[in-house]
A and B are shown apart, each in its own frame.
Chain A
Amino acid sequence: MTTQPLRDRYDLAVIGAGPAGLAAAATAARLGLSTVLLDEQPSPGGQIYRGIAEAAAATRAALGADYRHGQTLVDGLASSKADYVAGATVFDISPASRIAFLSGGHARAVSAQRIIVATGGQERPFPIEGWTLPGVMTAGAAQILLKQADLVPSGRVVLAGTGPLLWLLAAQILRAGGTIDAILETTERRNWRVALRHLPRFLASAYAAKGLALLAEVRRKVRVVSGVSHLRAVGGVGLEGVAYRIGGATETVIPADTLLLHQGVVPSLHLPDALGCSIMWNSLQRAFQPEVDDWGATSLDHIAVAGDGSGIGGAQSAARRGRIAALDAAFRLGLIDQPSRDHAAQRDLKALARDLKARRFLDVLYDPPEQFRVPTGDTIVCRCEEVSARRIEAVIAQGVLGPNQIKFFMRCGMGPCQGRLCGLTVTEMFAAGRGVSPAEVGHYRLRTPIKPVTIAEMASLPFGAHADKAVVRL
């Protein structure tokens, strides 16, 4: 692995250094492609293996064996010939595959014949009353503080929501010596009926033993309240408590200093959508994702998406998808022939198919309840522009055309997060209000630049004589 200086042109650029990006870059470089890996974080690993290269021994111990596995991927990159740029925020990719990114306050650009987008996922929005109060954050945020800063929540800690990460985080907090006052579980009991169909495949997978051990470890030490159907964060300037209800029962309020919310992970859409990749609705995972084939190839000739960004599959599947996409890149760029590609990818393709089938059980069991996806009343939907559910409901009822028109009417989705924290919620609100599928509603049109960038930063791009000619009157 090298870090500087960069070439102007590469065979392959990989965006994102999580498991998919690390595996893709290392594989591609080994196959002889000139490869650059651009990543926004200061060190490789993505979110799942965040800070792995620098983590203290006690932190690695608290995070468990799966986290330590990330070191193998980082080592794979380090021993490859791929160029790696940390702290590189990609904000635009031109149709000619010129990739513009911010690095150390300056804009730079590289070109690539082929691009693998490995930008992963983010936590699904969890819009409840009071979720904007300081003291309320995502489970993933608390996990990042554990991984990168050895910080464990102290004081009165409540976890709420549904999904594997909630349980994993709980176990990690306990192992780091933290305490948890309660876990408020929102998983709907009726999900079990549908999930049972997928149970045999799940039980046969590696996920099952790990998951059950985790559940047992947490349940021994923490009060778990199941079937929570109503949830709000209570406080003035900051969080003071968490109020919850189970069905028609009266509301209970428990004091809390920290509330950690989680209801699953969804693909990050900004880069593939802004590039113009065809996007589809995944009804099982209840999220939008780019349309890809078995090799991660999108509807655009030169763009592939690998990892959770092409549908949530977890860290191991992400690494497999990274290797598979890299092999396909080597084939398309003429470095290997088709039989070699197919042969080299065989094991990963097979294991990937098996693991994704096993995960269906988790997708169905942890399908988040409607009331936590479709907010009402004063609950904030757009955190940046502070737009409430009530105001959005009103314009939907008035016949506003869709999510993009909502932007014009009330600036919802037009703040610095560019719709990352409200996009899915707005789509779900339309779908619920009109009685149609989110597929029919669609998503905000996401545009470049996909990260906020100042005019000065953009102007610092090396445009070249051709671009100067285009704007200078002669």
Chain B
Amino acid sequence: MFRRFTDRPVPDVTILVDGARITTKASDSVAAAMFAAGMSSCRSTVVEGRARGPYCMMGVCFDCLVVIDGVGSRQGCMTRVRDGMVVETQDGRRELGR
């Protein structure tokens, strides 16, 4: 659980996460936007199918993998939000072609 402690003078953008509209800051990464919206899990794991969320936020752990605009296994912590971006939580293994 996270909350903003200041309102930075940066434009808002709207993204879709699993179909839900989320308004967030243009300077956010996808993972940060999801935390700000109260989501701490972003995928289920490839072997045991357990819930998993971002762990390192710096591109090292690859636990923040999500589907962005139809492309799977994108690092949510390394990708900046863009207005109209479509994000999906990633279920288990990556599928062929996405």
Interface residues of A (CB under 8 A from B): 40-42, 47, 51, 54-59, 62, 89, 122-123, 132-138, 140-142, 144-145, 148-155, 176-178, 237-238, 257-258, 268, 383-386, 415-417, 420-421, 452
State whether A386 touches B1 (Cβ < 8 A): no
User: A137 with B5: in contact, given A149-B25, A149-B27 (CB under 8 Å)?
Assistant: no
CB of B13 within 8 Å of the partner chain: no
Residues of A within 8 A of B77 (CB): 144
B33, B47, B65 — most chain A CB neighbours (10 Å) = B47
State whether B55 touches A136 (Cβ < 8 A): yes
State whether A452 touches B73 (Cβ < 8 A): yes
Q: Measured between alpha carbons, how far is A151 from B35 in the docked complex, in Å?
A: 8
State whether A134 touches B41 (Cβ < 8 A): yes
User: A59 with B56: in contact, given A238-B41, A238-B51 (CB under 8 Å)?
Assistant: no
Chain B window 42-58, contacts with chain A (Cβ cutoff 8 Å), 1 for yes, 0 for no: 00011110111111111
State whether B61 touches A420 (Cβ < 8 A): yes
CB distance from A454 to the nearest CB of B (A): 9
State whether A153 touches B55 (Cβ < 8 A): no
Apart from A58-B6, A384-B46, list 14 A-B contacts with CB within 8 A.
A54-B27, A55-B8, A57-B6, A59-B6, A140-B56, A141-B55, A142-B57, A144-B57, A151-B36, A237-B41, A238-B51, A417-B60, A417-B61, A421-B55
State whether B78 touches A134 (Cβ < 8 A): no
User: A416 with B2: in contact, given A141-B58, A149-B28 (CB under 8 Å)?
Assistant: no
State whether A155 touches B58 (Cβ < 8 A): no
Q: Measured between alpha carbons, how far is A151 from B39 in the docked complex, in Å?
A: 13
Residues of B within 8 A of A385 (CB): 46-47
Residues of B within 8 A of A134 (CB): 40-41, 51-53
CB of B63 within 8 Å of the partner chain: yes
Name A176's closest neighbour in chain B (CB-CB).
Answer: B5
Q: Which of B5, B59, B61 contacts A62 (CB 8 A)?
A: B5
CB of B11 within 8 Å of the partner chain: no
Name A123's closest neighbour in chain B (CB-CB).
Answer: B56
Residues of B within 8 A of A383 (CB): 52, 55, 61, 63
Q: Measured between alpha carbons, how far is A176 from B25 in the docked complex, in Å?
A: 18
Q: Measured between alpha carbons, how far is A146 from B96 in the docked complex, in Å?
A: 36
State whether A141 touches B57 (Cβ < 8 A): yes
Residues of B within 8 A of A59 (CB): 5-6, 8
Q: List 12 A-B contacts (CB under 8 A).
A: A59-B6, A123-B56, A134-B51, A136-B55, A141-B55, A144-B77, A151-B4, A152-B2, A155-B1, A383-B52, A383-B55, A385-B47
Q: Measured between alpha carbons, how far is A141 from B41 in the docked complex, in Å?
A: 15
Name B36's closest neighbour in chain A (CB-CB).
Answer: A151
State whether A258 touches B8 (Cβ < 8 A): no
Which 5 A-B residue pairs are closest in the complex by CB-CB distance? A134-B53, A58-B6, A141-B57, A56-B8, A149-B32
CB distance from A118 to the nearest CB of B (A): 15
Mostly, the B contact residues are: loop
Residues of B within 8 A of A154 (CB): 1-3
User: A145 with B35: in contact, given A138-B56, A384-B62 (CB under 8 Å)?
Assistant: yes
CB of B19 within 8 Å of the partner chain: no
State whether B60 touches A150 (Cβ < 8 A): no
Q: Measured between alpha carbons, how far is A83 from B65 in the docked complex, in Å?
A: 30
State whether A178 touches B5 (Cβ < 8 A): yes
State whether B2 touches A148 (Cβ < 8 A): no
Residues of A within 8 A of B48 (CB): 386
Q: Measured between alpha carbons, how far is A238 from B41 in the docked complex, in Å?
A: 8
CB distance from B62 to the nearest CB of A (A): 4
Residues of A within 8 A of B25 (CB): 149-150
State whether A42 touches B56 (Cβ < 8 A): no
Residues of B within 8 A of A62 (CB): 5
Q: Measured between alpha carbons, how far is A150 from B25 in the docked complex, in Å?
A: 10
Q: Which of B4, B8, B41, B65 contacts A416 (CB 8 A)?
A: B65
Q: Measured between alpha carbons, how far is A229 from B28 in the docked complex, in Å?
A: 37
CB distance from A287 to the nearest CB of B (A): 14
B7, B32, B46, B53 — most chain A CB neighbours (10 Å) = B53
Q: Which of A122, A148, A151, A153 contacts B60 (CB 8 A)?
A: A122
Q: Measured between alpha carbons, how far is A54 from B1 in the docked complex, in Å?
A: 24
State whether A56 touches B61 (Cβ < 8 A): no
State whether B45 touches A386 (Cβ < 8 A): yes
Q: Measured between alpha carbons, how far is A447 from B20 in the docked complex, in Å?
A: 39
